[in-house]
Amino acid sequence: MNAGATIPAAGVVVPTTLCRVTGTVSSRPTEAVGIEVWLPTSWNHRFEGVGSGGFGGSIAYPELARASAQGFAAASTNTGHHGSSFGKAGEKLEWASNPVTLDDWGRNAIHLMTSATKQIAASYYGAAPRHSYFNGCSTGGAEAMSEAEFFPKDYDGIHAGSPGMAYSRLIQSFLWTAMPSQHDAQATLPDAALTLLHNAVLHACSDAKAVPGDTFLTTPARCAFNPAILACRPGQPSQDCLSPPQIAAVRQIYAPVRNARTGAEIYPGYVRGGEADPDRVPGRFSVTGWYMNQGALAGAVASPLLGTAVFEHPGWKWSDFNFGSDSDQIMRVLSAHIDAMSPDLRAFAARGGKLIMTQGWADAFNAPTLPVSYLMQVRQFMGSPDQFLRLFMVPGMGHCGGGPGPNAFGGPGQLPAPITDARHDVVAALIGWVEQSHAPKTIIATHYDQNIPSRGIAMQRPLCPYPQHSVYVGTGDSSKADSFICK
């Protein structure tokens, strides 16, 4: 294909002259993993596998275009089935009723795609890729973690962004946050209530900001905001306060999901500071703020997946979910197919693999502290993982991008980073680590004016390897990255 050609189904413009290969890979009966491989004429001798989102079901053409424009042989997969990345409440997901295609979505499709692509690239170019990288976010982040855990020889460098790595637990979080408003309409938190709550958090936790003018928190773990201070007083206008059911709903969203039978934590709660998106247009989809986790995610993700794969009844009523017996059944039936939570990454580390995890502190879908907890588990199991694993927490960023903070650094689905080098781009940082042994000390992230690149750069901040965070030096332009240090 010539540069400038368009992929009609996706509306994506081919960025450079390349060979486009489509095919199906299978290793078992009933398996048909669709893949697409883009082989640019100007090849950098590297391969980049790109992740999917949600339930997969399609090729990630924008990510193929980005990677091939940078010279990578690039590949994407439909994860073993055709369909929408989200479902509907009461809908049967045919692919999830088949253990083979469920395994492909949850774990195997990326491995099959990777093995096939390396062979295709070697045949086309006459030489195998010198190095291989994977770049995924959300479900793609879960795929990244599965690759590191189960297929450690596939990739030299892996970026796992906002990883849904504990997927069987994550979908219970979607139910947990939806239950208050599902059982009591008065507990619903509309846009105005979320904005009120978010502004109150920013005001109460100003010491968790990097600079006073920020509309996001850099260290939200320091914030212990109590929503009770917003409780309505007699005669107070309802738009200026929260009702008792709303306060109870806020407390539940902040709280971890717990097993009702054992009291054990199933999934972390959300941190303070991610309640609303200051730039959101009402009624529009947003990856920042609690707009979708009061029922939308329960209906679009938890209901069809659990109704099909666990409870085997599409009409299963998610609002009756029991966080004891039903949770136990999910862990028995589903966890082995779709989770990647083992802290044992010895095989990946031993072969020289490098893993960068990124996570937005204002993520509206994944609990931001899950990667932090995972890093601590790896540290306990293996000792310091700094030689092969770094976690960069992103202040004010939503799920895989968006939000009021510095949110563009080359991850999937993000706005473009301004400079493709190891300081501004997460894949370039991986290349420097893998090929030159330059472990990333910072990654410069960008926030564009109103999140529109054509409007120019509003600010840049350094992302720091956890547990460090960016600190303003006290002088200089706070919109410039060099006014901050990691501390």
Whose CA is closest to 275, among 204, 340, 185, 169?
204
Write the burial class of residue 183 (CB in 10 Å: 0-12 exposed, 13-18 middle, 19+ buried): exposed
* 363 among known catalytic residues: yes
Neighbours of 62 (CB within 10 A): 16
Candidate list 52, 76, 132, 138, residue with the active-site label: 138
CA distance 101 to 81: 7
Candidate list 399, 424, 447, 469, residue with the active-site label: 399
DSSP symbol at 20: E
Answer whether 372's CB lies under 8 Å from 391's CB. yes
- Report the interhelical angle of 109-125 vs 139-150 (nearest 10°): 80
* 243 among known catalytic residues: no
CA distance 219 to 469: 7
* 85 among known catalytic residues: no
Handedness of CA 394, 397, 401, 406 (dihedral sign): negative
Residue 449 token pair: 């004016």
Whose CA is closest to 365, among 287, 258, 295?
287
DSSP string, 458-476: EEEEEE-BTT--EEE-SSS
In sequence order, which residues have a C-beta less than 8 Å from that of residue 368 and are 6 or more positions away?
A: 220, 270, 271, 274, 359, 360, 361, 362, 393
In sequence order, which residues have a C-beta less than 8 Å from that of residue 205 and are 6 or more positions away?
A: 217, 220, 222, 223, 224, 225, 272, 273
DSSP symbol at 206: G
Candidate list 132, 363, 424, 447, residue with the active-site label: 363
Answer whether 241's CB lies under 8 Å from 250's CB. no
Write the burial class of residue 133 (CB in 10 Å: 0-12 exposed, 13-18 middle, 19+ buried): buried
Handedness of CA 370, 374, 380, 383 (dihedral sign): negative
| Single-letter code of the amino acid located at 253 | I
Q: Which amino acids are annotated catalytic? A: 138, 363, 399
